Amino acid sequence: MSTQGKRPPLTDATLRAIVGALQNQAEQPPPGFHAWQTWAKRWGVKRTSCMRYLEAGVKSGVLETVKIRRDVGAYVRRVPFWGLTRKKTRHGRKA
């Protein structure tokens, strides 16, 4: 029997508090930004094709990538999200 991917039991109160604080640091992606799973389902393609399209979109400047802290089981990890490129704010001349 494999234990890979299973969360170990948190028996120590201090460790439980630290893990709880880390999981509370998870963020929400900006509107219009989605994980690759959402794009693959929306486009009706599998993972490999979806990743190729996303990489091509970023390379051509149509899409941009942001890394968001997400709770993935036993820990919080920075996960990439893709969305349409946002307009850059223009900076006028300084007087």
User: Rounded to an integer, what is the distance from CA 40 to the centroid of its chain?
Assistant: 15
Label residue 26 by pLDDT band (50, 70, 90): confident
Number of domains the chain contains = 1
In a domain, 9, yes or no: no
Which tens digit of pLDDT belongs to each residue from 61-77? Answer: 999 999 998 877 767 78
d(CA 60, CA 48): 18
Residue 50 contacts residue 39 (beta carbons within 8 Å): yes
What are the tokens at 58?
A: 């970023």
Q: Of 4-8, 23-27, 28-32, 56-60, which one has max mean pLDDT? A: 56-60
Segments forming the whole domain that contains residue 43 = 33-84
What are the tokens at 73?
A: 């089981």
In a domain, 16, yes or no: no
Please give the residue that has the higher pLDDT: either 86 or 33. 33
In a domain, 3, yes or no: no
Place of tokens 């709770």: 71
In a domain, 24, yes or no: no
In a domain, 44, yes or no: yes
In a domain, 55, yes or no: yes
pLDDT of 2: 61
In a domain, 28, yes or no: no
Please give the residue that has the higher pLDDT: either 13 or 89. 13
